[in-house]
Structure 1
């Protein structure tokens, strides 16, 4: 993801439309925040399971990618759940069972498909509703998650195409929005502006 002269928002970006066959049904923004937390919780558990399987099979770099994305989803969970808890103090964060991993290539495709759904269907739908309701904090949180998910999908597809030709590059996770960068060639997060020094290395 390239750096822009200004940080991306739902208002200054051209990639925030929901796909024509979107399946996400918008509730209130509070309901959508809860749905997003549930979805991200499932994704984090799934990626943790896939990371464990990859490590056991000797795919160390893939294991690190899944560990990074599992941690990224935890960032999204914390951002979204904090908004829920501000409106609904009785809210209890959900848990999720991890699915059984399949073959390593199929796990990568499943991961990419999940991220593509979030960036092209779920989050655009939730962002539009939050805009309609004037919920600026939710718009910002959903926007940053949506943009990070697109990058996650890209990383999964890159890993899929290079599954038998992996390199030793590290993955770096932005603590502000869950963006993931592969390799050393960056200075700050292109989504939220956090400097490289604060990123977590995987």
Structure 2
């Protein structure tokens, strides 16, 4: 993902369309935040299980990618939970489901499919509703998550294509929005402009 001259937003970007066969159930923004928390909780648990499977199967770099993405989803959960808690201070996050992995190539495809759904369907649908309700905080949180999820999908597909040609590159996780960069060649997050020095290496 290239760094632009301005932080990407719904207003200055053209990749926020909703797929024509959307399968997302859209409620109020508060309901959508809770749904997103549930989805991200499941994704984080799934990727943690996929990381364990990858390590057991000898794919150490891919295990690190899954670990980074699991942590990224926790960032999204935190951002979404903070907004829910403003409206419902007693709201409790859902428990993480039990998950297991299978063959690493299939786990990568499963992960990519989930991330593509979130970036092309779920989050654009939730963003549109938040815009209609004038909830600018939710628009920003959903926007950052949507943009990060597309990069997660890209990382998974690249790892799938290079499954038998791994390198030694590290993955770097943005602590603000969950963007993941592969390798050392960057200065800041292309989504939120957070500096490289604050990123977590995997």
Tell me the TM-score range normalised by the shorter chain.
Answer: over 0.9
Is 1:155 the counterpart of 2:155? The answer is: yes
Which residue pairs with 2:191 in the alignment?
A: 191
Is 1:107 the counterpart of 2:122? The answer is: no
Q: Where in structure 2 are there 5+ consecutive unaligned residues?
A: none
Which residue pairs with 2:64 in the alignment?
A: 64
- TM-score with structure 1 setting the length: 0.99
Which residue pairs with 1:77 in the alignment?
A: 77
Distance 1:191 1:100 in 2: 31
Report Cα offsets for 1:140-194 as digits up to 9, x if no partner.
Answer: 0000000000000000000000000000000000001000000000000000010
Q: Is the 8 A contact 2:53 2:103 kept in 1?
A: no
Aligned residues: 202
Q: Where in structure 1 are there 5+ consecutive unaligned residues?
A: none
RMSD of equivalent CA atoms: 0.6
- TM-score with structure 2 setting the length: 0.99
Distance 1:13 1:63 in 2: 32
Report Cα offsets for 1:94-149 as digits up to 9, x if no partner.
Answer: 11213321111100000000000000000000000000000000000000000000
Runs of 4+ in 1 over 3 A off after TM superposition: none
